[in-house]
Chains A and B, each alone.
Chain A
Amino acid sequence: MNRALRVLLDGLAEDPDPRLRRAWSSVIMHRNVGAIPVSELPAGEFNWNRGFDLLLLDRDGRQTHVCKVRPARDLRARNEALVMAAMRLDPEVSSLLPPSYYRSVPDLQVLVTAFLPGRPYQHRLRLISAADWLSDMREVLPLSCRFSARAAELIPSLSGHGDPLDLSLQTADEFSYLAGLGIESDKLMTLRRRLEAMAPLRASLQHGDLWPANLLHDRGSWSLLDFEAFGRIKVPLFDAIHLLRTCLEIRTGEQDSPLWLRRVLGPQPDSKACRQLMMEAAQREGVSAEQAVGVLIHYWAVFARRSHLAGNPRGFWEPLLSEVREMARLIAEEPIVVDRLFSGS
């Protein structure tokens, strides 16, 4: 292994936490998604084009740690280290995340976490009933909210929690960008007016990448992973929508419609559970049904723009544009249907 990297990892041997102090002997490079140092300009600032992860193994081939290796100037890795270090000290939420160890040198930084037992939630997600999924989400979503609230109290640098938030201003750049991608001006106008008409939200720190791969489930307990984007998004309900959308996609695929918005409005048990959970999440976060529709508009606009900016193939971002169009169509032509999204019915 490279000398600088080995020196950083050798520090594990002196960490005060015994769960991090375990010996390792070899590594597997995985999630290898971006060069260190960056060889060409990355297409946007995204998780998938920066650095790589190492899985550290002991002499018997057992996983001991997961190590994120990132370029030295990567602010997201520092953000994650900050959040993990602060939250590990809080008895109320410390059990939700693994012990971590952070070091940096001029060229790179490493964030090492103890390897946790359990499997990413997407494995369980495919096997359970709609009722079990509902039950799981009723555990996870409040935990996530509690985590965000505690982070706002414990980490002063993550500012803005509780401030008024005008979603039409927050989404203005996205709408301009989507116009350039061919979204019709009347559809964008419909969405913009909807956002302008709604009451301001109260900002709330969001995980930013809360989806089943970042949830670990082990014998009834949950762990949250990957806090690189924590606090960058402050739109309440964003995490809940992202988690529920990705869960439903994993559970149902495209069996009825390629559009998530049509699937979630369907009569299937998963769709009903999703609408129920969206309503509960909105109530928990103090967001009215009208505001929640606005957050959903913002969510699709953010993801469509982000996916295109990342240089993804058309097959990635075009379905997201279709969701934006469908959202506009529903608001203009079927307002009663839109009301069902967060009504639980």
Chain B
Amino acid sequence: MSRYEEAVPDVPPADLTLTERIRDAANVILRGGGTDWRQAILTAGASLEVSDPLRLLGNDAAGNWLWLGDWPTSERALDVGGGPGDTTAALSSLFREVEYLDHDSAWVEFARHRFGSRASPRVRQGGVELVSGQPGSFGCISITATTRRPDSESAGMLADCHRLLAPDGLLRLIPRIPLKQEGASRIRTLVDQVISGELTQRAWGLALRQAGYRPLGTYYAEPSLSYPYYLMPGNRRAVRAAERLHDDHLAGGRSRGWIVRAGLHGALYRHYFLLATK
């Protein structure tokens, strides 16, 4: 009996966050042994009564953000805070050696199950400090930050990654997204999202510059980073064009147009990332 069989309740509480649900789903997969991971997530999702179980995990299209940037010819890529491993999977099709890192033991076990015992991607538990190698040997680095705003720890991580990134290499930074406050008023939610979307974007941009990077831009992902059906530059013109494109998908009432015109995009799109180079 694995430790998950003891740890996972048969009926998960209804108020689980998405991350917690994904972890539970991962546990079900691990319990299932050699089950194909996509089929297993369907099974897990069914037990969780989720309408679209595959949405518990991302799909491989989550890696197409790479086409928004450019990277030098290099054999190595790094995924820091790799979570379910979607970015690692995407990097693996473009780079010969990919390193997956995450501090969370559940994610690491899930990634080991997903990627098996291949030499690449190499799955390890921990942070960027585990990575050895020549400075400038990674063509692409993706970082999923553990904090909402930059702090001393993230500054150290950015500095480490700067050392590892090749000249003209591509860095993607995903700030942590705050969870929605259940029961909060609409005004409070709006203010919170504007603050998280606008101010923290600027703070991370500043942190990147201080670490020696050259920011290339901010991109919003809609509806999520796992399912980025839309990836749009974080500027007013692009957002207005995206809103016009498929208003049935993106529209959320008359106020949405006003928010777009006011440039408060952070209130519309919770998920974003920053691209930078060295």
Contact = CB atoms under 8 A, between A and B. Distances in A.
A39 B52 CA distance: 22
B179 interface: no
Interface string B42-56: 100110000111100
Nearest to B69: A2
Given A5-B67, A35-B60, A313 B54 contact: yes
A40 B244 CA distance: 33
Interface string A29-69: 11111111111100100000101100101001111000001
Most B CB within 10 A of own CB, among A26, A31, A39, A55: A39
Given A2-B69, A30-B245, A313-B51, A35 B229 contact: no
A315 interface: yes
B18 interface: no
A30 B237 contact: no
A2 B70 contact: yes
A39 B61 CA distance: 9
A28 B246 CA distance: 12
A311 interface: yes
B125 interface: no
Contacts of A32: 61, 64, 228-231
B241 A55 contact: yes
Nearest to B222: A30
B44 to A, nearest CB: 12
Q: Which of A3, A29, A57, A60 has the most CB of B within 10 A?
A: A29
Contacts of A313: 42, 45, 51-54
A123 B246 CA distance: 10
A36 B67 contact: yes
Contacts, number: 112
A292 B231 CA distance: 43
A122 interface: yes
Contact of A28 (B46, B66, B232): B232
Nearest to A123: B248
Contact of A33 (B61, B70, B242): B61
Nearest to B244: A63
Nearest to A54: B67
B230 A40 contact: no
Nearest to B216: A1
Contacts of A3: 70
Given A39-B89, A61-B237, A28 B69 contact: no
Contact of A29 (B53, B60, B68, B241): B68
A31 B229 contact: yes
Given A2-B68, A5-B67, A28 B230 contact: yes
Contacts of B59: 33-34, 49
B60 A40 contact: yes
B52 A29 contact: no
Contacts of B248: 122-123
Contact of A69 (B67, B69, B233): B67
Given A28-B230, A35-B60, A43-B38, A60 B67 contact: no
B203 interface: no
B261 interface: no
A104 to B, nearest CB: 15
A242 to B, nearest CB: 20
A37 B94 contact: yes
A3 B67 CA distance: 9
Pairs of residues from A and B, 4 with the lowest C-beta to C-beta distance, nearest first: A61-B237, A35-B60, A29-B231, A39-B93
Interface of B: 38, 42, 45-46, 51-54, 59-70, 89-90, 92-94, 228-233, 235-238, 240-242, 244-246, 248
6 contacts: A32-B229, A32-B230, A36-B64, A57-B238, A123-B248, A313-B54
Interface of A: 1-3, 5, 26-40, 43, 49, 51-52, 55, 57, 60-63, 69, 122-123, 311, 313-315
Given A29-B228, A32-B229, 14 more contacts: A1-B67, A1-B70, A2-B66, A30-B230, A30-B232, A30-B242, A30-B245, A35-B64, A35-B93, A52-B67, A55-B241, A57-B238, A122-B248, A313-B51
